[in-house]
Chain A
Amino acid sequence: MSGNISAEWGQLENDLAAAVAGREVYANGLCINTNIVEAKLDEGNIEEAESALRDGLSLNFEEARALLGRLEYQRGNVEAALRVFDGIDLQAAILRMQPSLAEKPPSKKGRSRTESLHAVSQHAASLVLEAIYLKARSLQKLGKVTEAAHECKSVLDAVEKIFYHGIPDVLVDYKLQDTVSRAVELLPELWKQAGCYPEAMSAYRRALLSQWNLDNDCCARIQKGFAVFLLYSGVEVSPPSLAVQIDGSYVPRNNLEEAILLFMILMRKFYLGKTQWDPSVIEHLTFALSLCSQTSVLAKQLEEVMPGFFQRVERWKSLALGYSGAGQEITALVLLRKSLHKHEKPDDLMSLLLAAKICSEDSLLAAEGVGYAQRAIINAQGVHKHLKGVGLRMLGLCLGKQAKVSSSDFERSRLQSEALKSLDAAVALEHDNSDLIFDLGVQYAEHRNLNAALRYARRYIDTTGGSVLKGWRLLALVLSAQQRYSEAQVVTDAALDETAKWEQGPLLRMKAKLKTSQSLHTEAIETYRYLLALVQAQRKSYGPLRSTPLTEDDKVNEYEVWHGLANLYSSLSHWNDAEICLGKARALIEYSAETLHRRGQVSEALAAYVNALLLEPSYVPCKILIGAVLSKMGSKMLPVARTLLSDALRIEPTNRMAWYHLALVHRDDGRIADAADCFQAASMLEESDPIESFSSII
């Protein structure tokens, strides 16, 4: 204890003494105070200062000059330091050093001799290299960065010449290693300052790919600097050459890949405890991976982070964002449920909104989503008040989705009107939000308020400038529901003009259906043929890289097209053609409810329908058709038919065919008033029936 303190005291006294008496230099077992030397330097008398050093410490010319330079540098006289360094021919000194060091092959016999030689030469090398390094630093401080970079580079070149087998781990002078490490770290910075980006890039690679015996922290700093440079500089230079490639190892091909690789390596160093945790690295990595849409990889990285670096709710939130961004919504929701638990952060607005959004996409989760959205609305206060509209929108979407699975009519209409109320409140806050306008259009359309739906569909096209396909489709569908087929046709044609061929599928399908509704059968068949060609071309050219511009809902599957054609042919009573189409469809997907349903001829119909229903218990068209077939089998079957049709209506209350057949059942059973009601419902719905279900565009 006391020894420690006295040692510290001694150190402090030394420092004080140095401050009063000036600096001291130790060399060759000698020591001198630099006061006299510095005085001579101040007079501008370099030679005398030099000779004072040489005499006092028995140094040679270069050593004395190097020392003088360092003295000046340390005193902040960078220009003077430069003048001193300019007086030494450093390159010559390096040349002299090379043979004496490099040519000696390590032999067991002369080991002790070589070692001592190494020690001496390393000492000299250290002095010379430090001198060049300080020269580079001086130039940098004077703003001559390009020259500085050249000097700094010559340090590294010299090191490579002197130690052409790489710097030995042991037996190396720590001062020499310090200088080398600093030069390795400084060089890319200098090139960047000089605006020479390709040189900076190769300096970074040289730093990281050659053996400089850098310590972990220094290496990590360089790796981070390089990765940041790669990620943000916007300078694309050639990727690392294949020469450095080891068989089977991963070589990045562009800036982004190289940056991500380096950040991942840094992350691993953190959890191996090799370097200190640097929170900026995960943020850089997050940015890079989000740009690549690879947020699931990000989630994996976050999962690997040791506990203690992140607050757990923070980690869950980031993970949820990552998984949700990668389309793994349920995983995201599980994480959000944890972070929204009442003991964690139940009021976190972003988590609430994301949870509500995920729930709004699944009718079975919608009720849960309603809760999140309501909590979000309550918490959207103060500076977060701008998010209140988002909360209202989510509430509206969740309610609308919940309405679809509600068990009673009363419940359904209550939920639907609440959904609309909520969306209306949202649009009052965010009148420019195009997504919201679209949601309103769809909600109103599903509610069969076609005038309002039309208004929003038009507004959506206006605010998006017609840039979103689903906007055109909504408008055309609403028009078709109003039986304004020719206008719908005009909209579809306009949309086709605004769409690249590759993405025209859904529009062509609509066009074909529109033609069918207008009884333009030949044109409809023509359109279907065109669509079929497109779909088949798409299927053939779907490489892994092709699929991105088309999201799932923009694609038309071939199976659907065959079905449409089959429908068309069967309505024309071309049974053979219809059968062929169905055969094609069946070849694509065996045992689909739809195919079985279409193939159902009177004799086999029922069996086929039942099979279809077994495959997909909530397939409404089959329920209706079984109901229809049963209702023709005599009065005993009528109650069964009625149950099936009511069930179909529970799932799809706006299905006019179900109402129609239910009316027939009521009539045959003698309930004329009920039958009249149902007929009326069916005919009203027929007047507002779109050619495709509104939900097909969401």
Chain B
Amino acid sequence: MSFDTTVDSATTTTTTEPTTPTPTSPHISWSDSFSEAQTAIKTLSTILPSIPPSLTSSDNPSSALLHDAETSAEISRLLRHPDSGAGGDHLCRWLYDTFQSAKPDLQLVVLRFLPLIAGLYLSRVPLRKPLAGFEAVLLAIYAHETVSRNGQAVTVTIPDLSHSSIYHETKLNTKNNATELNLTVISASLEPHGTVRSTRRARIVGVALELYYSKISQMPSESKIDFCEFCTLWAGQDGDAYKNGPDDEVVETGEAKENCEGENVGAKEGRIPLPWELLQPVLRILGHCLMGYKKNNELYEAACGACRSLYARSLHDINPKAILATRSLLRLVKMEANSEDKVDHTEIVMSNVINL
């Protein structure tokens, strides 16, 4: 809750001049993070070759840092460096410290790079490279989530229409004890972890992605595009066969046939194990990228590609839950593409005869 207020105050201050905070206003947390963010930017300037002056002079440095394309590109470039992520990596150190500042708007900046960190980390694990830097950031995020959830599991009670609900039309108070509501765990309880044990790796990354998902509406689309690209990589499958949706009875074109010759059809490098604890948050994020409110074409294309690859992968794993989820997303994408010019039900009837 406190998170929302600080973010709101941060966005409002971009339009108005920063005022001196009164003790009761939520600006306090903002001005607090103001100095912290400036320190963070100062430290960052020792790591990056250059920092745009708009950042240092910004009224709202956290938000500027989150949305500055140039700086983000520079950080991404450093993160993608083949030797990044080791224990002595300054950038990882910076990301870790920034996240540990416990200022929500600065934590957003770190989360913005989570797709890259998680993606690079999981892809590099089989290479047996030192990755303590990435692990430190991931563990910090995991620990944050463990504390804020108090270690509790996240559960969902599946509704049953035989129980009356707030959206039932007939508000009959039907006492129904015959059927028990279905309680299901969507994210299991969390234990604290000081190191990344390899069998808990997927879980730790999965929980970090859950936190990312909860802030996803504030993430810039480049971050989400990074995420979609890693999904395609992780799937290790080419989803091109499903360009026309998951159910298309395939029309054999000569070109398609040619492409499919050769032994290693569709398999690509970068495949990693995708247990449900990792796949589930991945699918939630992907769902947002595809069906979320704000459409960005590049992101949409990337998400479609990721979804196709993951569908192909779930067929390879014969994983029914994953098949159902990805197939539904692909069908929805197809339905959306096919429904042209929808009727706008909120437009008034335009007629030449106006009756008053």
Contact = CB atoms under 8 A, between A and B. Distances in A.
Contacts of B216: 234
Interface string A1-35: 00000000000001100110011111110000000
Chain A interface size band reads: 35 or more
A543 to B, nearest CB: 9
Interface in B207-223: 213-217
A107 interface: no
Contacts of B236: 432
A383 B241 contact: yes
Interface string B325-344: 10111011001000000000
B267 A386 contact: yes
B69 interface: no
Contacts of A22: 352
Nearest to B186: A292
Nearest to B236: A432
Contacts of A284: 328, 332
A171 interface: no
Contact of A283 (B126, B256, B264, B328): B328
A182 B201 CA distance: 50
B257 interface: yes
B182 A261 contact: no
Interface centre among A268, A325, A499 (most CB of B within 10 A): A325
Nearest to B176: A248
Contacts of A228: 291
Contacts of B267: 386, 389, 429-432
B227 to A, nearest CB: 12
B342 to A, nearest CB: 10
Interface in B152-186: 153, 155-161, 163-168, 171, 173, 175-176, 181-186
B228 to A, nearest CB: 15
Given A465-B126, A468-B273, A240 B166 contact: yes
Contacts of A280: 332, 335
A63 B355 CA distance: 12
Contacts of B266: 385-386
Nearest to A57: B356
B181 A467 contact: no
Contact of A264 (B161, B201, B215, B252): B161
B223 to A, nearest CB: 13
A383 B250 contact: yes
Chain B interface size band reads: 35 or more
B184 A292 contact: yes
A137 B346 contact: yes
B191 interface: yes
A318 B327 CA distance: 10
A252 interface: yes
Interface stretch (B26-34, B48-56, B71-79, B276-284): B276-284
Given A251-B166, A390-B318, A260 B159 contact: yes
A57 B284 CA distance: 58
A313 B80 CA distance: 47
Interface centre among B171, B263, B265, B347 (most CB of A within 10 A): B265
B105 interface: no
B354 A250 contact: no
B304 to A, nearest CB: 15
A232 B292 contact: yes
Given A261-B167, A284-B332, A497-B197, A232 B291 contact: yes
Contacts of A464: 126, 273
A354 interface: yes
Contact of B348 (A24, A134, A223): A134
Interface in B304-336: 312, 315-318, 320-325, 327-329, 331-332, 335
Nearest to B322: A290
B109 interface: no
B199 A499 contact: yes
Interface in B281-313: 283-284, 287-288, 290-293, 312
B166 A244 contact: yes
B135 interface: no
A28 to B, nearest CB: 8
B241 A386 contact: yes
A467 B198 contact: yes
Nearest to A432: B271
B224 to A, nearest CB: 10
A291 B315 contact: no
A26 B355 contact: yes
A510 interface: no
B188 interface: yes
B328 A294 contact: no
A467 B202 contact: yes
Contact of A294 (B158, B199, B280): B158
A428 B264 CA distance: 8
A234 B214 contact: yes
B189 A467 contact: no
Given A137-B346, A382-B256, A500 B200 contact: yes
A24 to B, nearest CB: 5
B352 A325 contact: no
A545 interface: yes
Interface centre among A318, A385, A435, A546 (most CB of B within 10 A): A385
B318 A357 contact: yes
Contacts of B356: 25-28, 57, 59, 63, 67, 127
A25 B354 contact: yes
Interface string A216-250: 00100101000011011111100010001111111
Contact of A428 (B182, B184, B263): B263
Interface string A665-688: 000000000000000000000000
B200 to A, nearest CB: 6
Given A249-B173, A287-B325, A291-B283, A545 B214 contact: no
Interface in B228-280: 236-238, 240-241, 247, 250, 252, 256-257, 260, 263-267, 269, 271-273, 275-277, 280
B147 interface: no
Interface in A532-572: 544-546, 548-549
Given A24-B353, A197-B217, A256-B156, A467 B273 contact: yes
Contacts of A428: 263
A433 B235 CA distance: 11
A545 B155 contact: yes
Contacts of B312: 386
A549 B171 CA distance: 39
B237 to A, nearest CB: 7
B45 to A, nearest CB: 31
Contacts of A649: none
B165 A295 contact: no
A387 B316 CA distance: 7
Interface stretch (A82-90, A157-165, A185-193, A439-447): A185-193
A383 B237 CA distance: 13
Contact of B317 (A256, A321, A435, A498): A435
A618 B320 CA distance: 33
B345 interface: yes
Interface string A406-442: 0000000000000000000000111111110000000
B102 interface: no
B42 interface: no
Nearest to B292: A232
24 contacts: A24-B353, A209-B167, A218-B345, A246-B171, A250-B160, A256-B186, A257-B157, A283-B335, A287-B283, A287-B324, A291-B186, A318-B324, A321-B323, A325-B320, A384-B241, A386-B266, A433-B271, A434-B271, A465-B198, A466-B198, A466-B199, A500-B191, A500-B193, A549-B188
* CB-based closest 3 A-B pairs: A386-B266, A27-B356, A18-B352
Interface of B: 4, 125-126, 153, 155-161, 163-168, 171, 173, 175-176, 181-186, 188-189, 191, 193, 197-203, 213-217, 236-238, 240-241, 247, 250, 252, 256-257, 260, 263-267, 269, 271-273, 275-277, 280, 283-284, 287-288, 290-293, 312, 315-318, 320-325, 327-329, 331-332, 335, 345-350, 352-356
